[in-house]
Structure 1
């Protein structure tokens, strides 16, 4: 489905019912916005892992402007600020009040920025494998220098420079870097999560070549009022767990969980444990 909001069209998909009728009672499930990472990817990597949350929530997936199935735009409009404002416009478009906000990686950065700007519309915040500042970039380069192969170091330079030339080159990057993203990566058994994604080189180039180098919301995190769950993977190379620790220290009413057997893709490395922690948080904070 496409929502014509602001100056663009945002693709969104809804999973799970809102109104539930059980025996003699009727109730409405909370709505969660699931914010994908990248930038330059789409929402499909959240499926089917997060589908398990439909027992408790109605899920709204969406693709950022210029990414996935959303409308393309001028490069200068691929900004964190627009991603936040597009999300707010989508909330209004759907006629929602408070929402659960769940973001992974870059989606976590959008989630943090949204919760800082619109705390009154966030009932719960879940930030997975993310960072509150640009400092994650230099740390990721250090970790790659320590753990990565020569091929991985070479292709990652395209990411650091924001210089991917085409989608195939970006797809090759994710294939070469797959063992770095998933702690349990096995070329024979691991789900190849990047094979069927719609990729956008403009979005990722603008982010890593531009605004992510100055991104910093740390001094604003105290504005977040919603109960917050911060999740990290112990072996995450690109958003190292110390950045999740930093986020949790700065947000009132936050809970930090570090998954000891996960890399960046916690949903691939420990999917059931991830769902258990999120469900437990939602039950406890309901």
Structure 2
């Protein structure tokens, strides 16, 4: 499905009912926006793993402008600010009131920025393996230099420079770095996941070669008013756990969970524990 909003068209998909009839009782589930990472990837990284949340939430997946199935446009418009405003426009397009915001990695940066700008529209905020500032870049380079192979460091230079030349290079990046992203990396399955992904080199180049180098919302996190859960992975190389700790320390009464047996892809490394934490948070904070 496509929403014609602002100056673009955003692809979105909905999973799960909003209005539920159960045992002669009718009730409405909260709606959650799932914000994908990258930039340069798409929403399908959440599927089918996050379907488990439909027991409690209606899920809205979407692709950022210029990414996945969403409309391509001028690469200069592929900014975090536009991602935030597109998200708000999509909320209005769908006629929703407050939403649950779930953002992973870069999606967490969008989620934090959205909750800062539109606190009145967020019922709950869940930030997974993310960061509130550009400081993660130098730390990630340091960790990769310590833990990574020569091949991993070599192709990662394209990420740091924001100069992927084609989709195949970006696909190779994700395949070569796959063991760094998940402790349960399986070369027979994990690498093949990237064969059918819709990738956008313009989106990732604009981010890592541009605005992520100055991104910093640390001094605005106090504006977030929704109950907040911050989740990090102990072995995460690109959004190291200290950045999750920093986010939680700057948001009033935020809950912090560091998963001891996970890298960046907690949904692959500890999926059951992840959903237990999210479900428990949603129940406790309601």
Q: Same fold (TM over 0.5)?
A: yes
Q: In the alignment, what sits opposite 1:101?
A: 101
SS at match of 2:230: strand
Alignment of 1:220-259 (within 5 A): 220-259=220-259
Residue 190 of structure 1 deviates from its aligned partner by 4.1
Q: In the alignment, what sits opposite 2:169?
A: 169
Residues 179, 172 of structure 1: alpha-carbon distance in 2 compared, 3 angstrom cutoff: same
Alignment of 1:45-56 (within 5 A): 45-56=45-56
Structure 2 alignment gaps of length 5 or more? none
Q: In the alignment, what sits opposite 1:149?
A: 149
Alignment of 1:26-105 (within 5 A): 26-105=26-105
Q: Which moves more between the two structures, 269-278 or 192-201? A: 192-201
- Across the two proteins, how many residue pairs are aligned to each other? 286
Report the TM-score when normalising by structure 2.
0.99
Alignment of 1:109-128 (within 5 A): 109-128=109-128
SS at match of 1:38: coil
Report the TM-score when normalising by structure 1.
0.99
Q: Deviations over 1:153-199 (max 9, x none)?
A: 00000000000000011000000000011112121354743222100
Superposed CA RMSD: 0.8
**Distance in 1 (alpha carbons) for counterparts of 2:48 and 2:186:** 19
Residue 250 of structure 1 deviates from its aligned partner by 0.2
Tell me if structure 1 keeps the 8 A contact 2:178–2:191.
no
Tell me if structure 1 keeps the 8 A contact 2:175–2:191.
no
Q: Does 1:265 align with 2:265?
A: yes
Residues 199, 190 of structure 1: alpha-carbon distance in 2 compared, 3 angstrom cutoff: closer
